[in-house]
Structure 1
Amino acid sequence: MNGVLVGKTSEIPEGEKKIITANGKSIGVYNIGGEFFAIRNTCPHQGAALCSGITTAFIDSSGPGNFTYQREGEIARCPWHQWEFDIKTGCMIVDPKKRTKSYEVTVERFDVSVEDKGIYVHI
């Protein structure tokens, strides 16, 4: 397994992200509620740097003028065309069949590892 040392878990505070490059791929590593998740920093629509967009909540509505914010900090919004993706799964919010690559993340003591077929990111 190839590895890239990126830093320590303390370098990605809760609610923040860090964009890294591993084996030529740009990946956003997110800390959501103390858990780490990673997605490819490429929007499948037209290739924008997905993780450079805002991180937001899922907005739910039961009717006009009535809405609630759910899953705060779990949605990555593309900066070009506002496509939204679930950071935990990589799936697009309005069409889960469309997705950006997500990576399995493990935390070992104070380090975070992102793994995917030849990519091993150690922070």
Structure 2
Amino acid sequence: MGTRHVVGRVDEIPPGGSKFVQVGKFGVGVYNVGGEYRAVTNYCPHRGGPLCVGMRYPVIESDEPYQFEVSGSDEILKCPWHGWEFDLRDGISEVGTKRIRTHTVRVEGDLVVLEGV
């Protein structure tokens, strides 16, 4: 079992919210994505940008021109340096083969706990 860090109370990170935690070499962003907690290292694999200060937005899907559907709730995290986009649910880049480091987050009672960093 690795290290554990209490991030805060559940009510401090409501759906759509986030909190930055100074753990590990770069820090970790903890996100509430549609009621599920996700955590990623604050490091973009493209050029090392501070990923966790990037914008978040929902997945936009399209089957044909001028037709689109917005799904989810701010699952995509965009690096502020060069615009690389990553899915907070699995850490995979929306374009290419890059992946960000994800971490396990658990809810224990009313606390959000980050594990293994």
Q: TM-score, normalised by structure 1?
A: 0.84
Aligned to 1:68: 69
Aligned AA (1:105) = V
Aligned AA (2:20) = I
Alignment of 1:1-123 (within 5 A): 1-95=2-96, 97-116=97-116, 119=117
- Alpha-carbon distance between aligned partners in 1 of 2:7 and 2:113, rounded to the nearest angstrom: 9
Deviation, 1:33, is 1.9
- Alpha-carbon distance between aligned partners in 1 of 2:24 and 2:101, rounded to the nearest angstrom: 15
- Alpha-carbon distance between aligned partners in 2 of 1:4 and 1:82, rounded to the nearest angstrom: 30
Deviation, 1:63, is 2.2
- Alpha-carbon distance between aligned partners in 2 of 1:24 and 1:86, rounded to the nearest angstrom: 22
Quote the RMSD (CA, aligned, Å): 1.5
Task: After superposing the two structures, state which structure 1 stretch, 59-68 or 98-107, moved more.
Answer: 59-68
Task: Please state whether the residue corresponding to 2:104 is helix, strand or coil.
Answer: strand
Q: Unmatched 5+ residue regions in structure 1? A: none
Deviation, 1:3, is 3.8
Aligned AA (1:107) = V
Deviation, 1:18, is 0.7
Deviation, 1:86, is 0.7
Deviating beyond 6 angstroms after TM superposition, the runs of 4 or more aligned structure 1 residues are none
Task: Please state whether the residue corresponding to 1:7 is helix, strand or coil.
Answer: strand
- Number of corresponding residues: 116
Task: After superposing the two structures, state which structure 1 stretch, 26-35 or 59-68, moved more.
Answer: 59-68
Q: TM-score, normalised by structure 2?
A: 0.88
Deviation, 1:4, is 3.5
Aligned AA (1:83) = W
Identity in percent? 40
